[in-house]
Amino acid sequence: MSELRTDRINRYARLIEKQTGVAIRPYRTDGYINMLNKYGTSQDSTEHYQYMPEPEVPDTLLEEYYEGNGLFAKIIDTPAEEAIKHGFELEDIKDDKIINFVMEALDELDWEETGMIALKWARLFGGSIAVMLINDGRSLEEPLDWKNIQSVDDIRVYDRSIIVPDYQSMYDYDPTEPFGRRGSRLGMPETYTINSKHGSFVVHDSRCLVFQNGRLPENTTNSIYELWGMPEYIRIRRAIRDAEVAHGSATKLLDRSVQAIYKMKDLAMELSTEGGEDRVLRRLQTIDMARGLLNSITIDSEGEDYDFRTFAFTGVSDVIDTTCNFLSALTSIPQTILFGRSPAGMNSTGSADLENYYNYVERIQKKMLRKNLRYLLTVILQAGVASGEIDEVPPINVKFSPLWSLSETEQVALDQQKAAVQSTKAQTASTYVQMEVLDPSEVRKSLAESKEFDIDTILDDYTEEELEENAPQSQEGMGGMMGGMPGMGGMPGGMPEMPEPPENSSNAPEAAPVATKLPQDMSAEEKAGYEKPLRTGESEKLHEEVEERHEDSEPNSVGVICVKDGKVLCGTRHNVSHYGKVCGPGGWIEDGEKPEDAAVRETEEEFGIKPRSLIRIGEGEENEDGGKPVIFLCTDWEGEPKSTDLEMVNPRFLSIGEIREIGDDLFEPFIESISILERKLTGEMKPEEVTDIDLLRAYIEQFE
């Protein structure tokens, strides 16, 4: 009995070996072999660890798939269009003549459309070339003659499927003729044969813009892709197939989500009788026919029932999302662009997906577009030199325009940050000017050169000897640099408020210009004739002098008297011209600017307020430039007076009496403006000569 059992076991073991072949898992005595689910056999899915490549894809299939599948065409086209449409700039080229020549040449060659097509075919087939039809006196198969380039007449794009590279010349290089090819180009063919359906020709590499969708190892499975790169479809065909099946199957599931149920009494007994099956089928046909004709169902009131049951398919949307996510990951195109879907998830904005997508497009620009564009521009500029339209070929550095455009809110936030930085720099510069570490002319020069300044590098143009010569002589006046700066101890609250000029200090270098000295640092000779004081009775004298001036002089400057509660807005000049003088808003009228507009601009620039209305009260004395200042009165404005730049500091309101007490530190044009205002308020001029005379008279008692 035991021998019989052993024989049966051995036969069963041989049967298992025969079924499993050379089993991955050999016969095991623990019984973990299941012939139904193939567990433990050679067909066990859990044992499949080797990658199985799919068959090669013919080029005709790529063309057909691109023509007939909208999703695949979008995957090919979208990154190529994104890489081209934003344009580029030529860095370090400031000559408008060269820039205009390049842009006009690219427009004539239709570069934007040509570049897009070349990138699309490179992504679709793995590579492409753009053949430049260059007029240099040679044929297409000959090397480009750089000395005789006359023009670039056209650019034609051909895909990799009709190009046959000359592989024998890939590693040929003659060092005695370095310009026979595009640089060394070692590893690249010297010529290409184009086998178009309209004809064939050979073109030299120096006349081609070569677009490669990557490079593959030398022993790659398909040697065709070694030189050009892999077509995009090869890597995404499984993912795109799964996405299409998931979307298509979802609609089919809807057809099966509703199931009709027919209930018949004693159905099993009826089917067991002779002819019962036919009677049941005829009954079902009758019900179906009634439903088709009248959109209604006729059943027996007893023993029959007709019902519909709905099935809920859970997880379908999750499967679709998963396939879409996988396809998006392989193509580096976010779902918001690929499928037109809104970002999903908590607090989703899609900004991270777009950032990754734009990084992917930038890689395409750097890998396939930049070198070809630079080469094309070099040929175009060489043709421009030959035609005499430009003088020489400048160094070419292509900078692509940003792909990411800031929204209005983001742009405002960025501008506010930049303004805050500039404000901090301005306050720091003002503090250094007050300490006489910097001269106002140095700050103005830096602003004129670059429209902004850097405190750390503003003195780099000076030698150590020049800095020592202009350094303050009194170490005490410097206050030990940091110790003498008010409020700089640790700066817990940011930059300190701009301090007032010291009243009893003399820190100005002896060699400093008069305009950069504080009033207390000037000698008697420097002050003499520099400014005139305002005293009682001198307004009439000024008025007489004004009348003697030429009446036909054109205004070239403005002065604004801002009045509030009977007091005049004043500030201390803090620029190179008339440093330390007290005055109100004013300045030069720019070309094409009206006096009223200049008055508004100067008031806003110097004191940070914007006049709502201006009253023209007269013209001042003719200046040395042959023009006259126009004087305006302002009683209504927006904002509060403050120091907005280095031109004016310490804004304050002073009465006429307080202004008179300033004396020598008054700015001469400001004296004249106050004199004109006094004459208007005292009624010395005719009322019809003054606009809004009633408003002016309302301030007479306050000023007196």
Instruction: Judge if 100 and 228 occupy the same domain.
Output: yes
Which residue numbers in the chain have pLDDT < 70? Answer: 1-2, 15-37, 39-54, 173-185, 292-295, 298, 341-351, 405-407, 410, 436-437, 442-553, 576-577, 623-627, 644-646, 682-704
Cα–Cα distance list, 691 to 328, 491, 611, 695, 696 (Å): 71, 50, 16, 9, 9
Chain CA centroid to CA 116, Å: 21
Q: Total structural domains in the chain?
A: 4
Looking at the structure, tell me whether residues 507 and 559 fall in a common domain. Answer: no
Shared domain for 81 and 158, answered yes or no, is yes
**Residue 171 sits in the same domain as residue 77:** yes
With a threshold of 0.85, does the pTM exceed it? no
HSE-up of residue 695 (Cα within 13 Å, Cβ side): 14
Residue 388: the pLDDT is 87
pLDDT score recorded for residue 45? 66
The enclosing domain of 571 has a CATH number of 3.90.79.10
- Same domain as 485, residue 535: no
Residue 624 belongs to some domain of the structure: yes
CA pair distance 64, 468, nearest whole angstrom: 79
Evaluate whether 209 touches 368 at the Cβ level (below 8 Å): no
Give the pairing of strands 208-212 and 258-264.
unpaired
User: Is 121 inside any structural domain?
Assistant: yes
Q: Could you tell me if residue 202 is inside a domain? A: yes
Residues 562 and 668 in one domain: yes
**Domain extent for 30:** 2-47
Quote the CA–CA distance of 433 and 426 in Å, as a whole number: 10
Q: Which of 447, 482, 513 marks a domain boundary?
A: 513
**Res 502: pLDDT:** 43
Q: From CA 602, how far away is CA 562, in angstroms rounded? A: 12
**In terms of domains, do 132 and 190 share one?**
yes
Tell me, what's the pLDDT at 287?
78
Cα separation, 437 vs 485, in Å, equals 11
Selection from 106, 118, 130, 46 nearest residue 80 by Cα: 118
648 contacts: CB under 8 Å, gap ≥ 6: 571, 572, 573, 574, 585, 606, 607
> For 459-479, how does the pLDDT look when each residue is reduced to its tens digit (9 = 90+)?
555 555 555 555 544 444 333
Kind and range of the H or E run holding 624: none
CA–CA separation, 689 and 483 (whole Å): 57
- Assess if residue 28 is contained within a domain: yes
Asked if 230 and 143 touch (Cβ cutoff 8 Å), the reply is no
Residues 118 and 151 in one domain: yes
In sequence order, what are the residues at sequence separation of 6 or more whose Cβ sits closer than 8 angstroms to the Cβ of residue 586? Answer: 557, 558, 559, 560, 599, 602, 629, 669, 670, 673
If asked whether residues 543 and 680 sit together in one domain, one would say yes
Judging by beta carbons within 10 Å of its beta carbon (0-12, 13-18, 19+), is residue 418 exposed, middle or buried?
exposed
Residue 415 and residue 5: Cα distance in Å, rounded? 91
Task: Say what the pLDDT of residue 106 is.
Answer: 94
Q: Give burial (CB, 10 Å; 0-12/13-18/19+) of 517.
A: buried
- Cα separation, 534 vs 653, whole angstroms: 17
pLDDT value at position 227? 87
70 and 42 in a common domain: no
What 3-state class would DSSP assign to 90? strand
Residue 263 covered by a domain: no
For residue 9, tell me if it sits in a domain.
yes
Cβ–Cβ contacts within 10 Å for residue 174, how many?
A: 8
In a domain, 526, yes or no: no
CA distance 324 to 338: 9
Tokens 């209005």: give the residue.
408
pLDDT number for residue 403: 84
Q: Where are the alpha helices (DSSP H) in 520-588?
A: 524-527, 538-548
pLDDT in tens, 36-73: 667 666 666 666 556 666 678 889 999 999 999 999 99
Radius of gyration of the chain, Cα coordinates, nearest whole angstrom:
44
The answer to whether residue 174 sits within a structural domain is yes
Tell whether 576 and 491 lie within a shared domain.
no
Do 109 and 154 lie in a common domain? Answer: yes
Q: Last residue of some domain: 513, 541, 560?
A: 513
Q: Exposed, middle or buried: residue 219 (CB in 10 Å: 0-12, 13-18, 19+)?
A: exposed
Q: Which of 461, 487, 513 delimits the end of a domain?
A: 513
Of 147, 81, 91, residue with least CA distance to 119: 81
Residue-level pLDDT at 160: 94
**Confidence (pLDDT) at 592:** 84
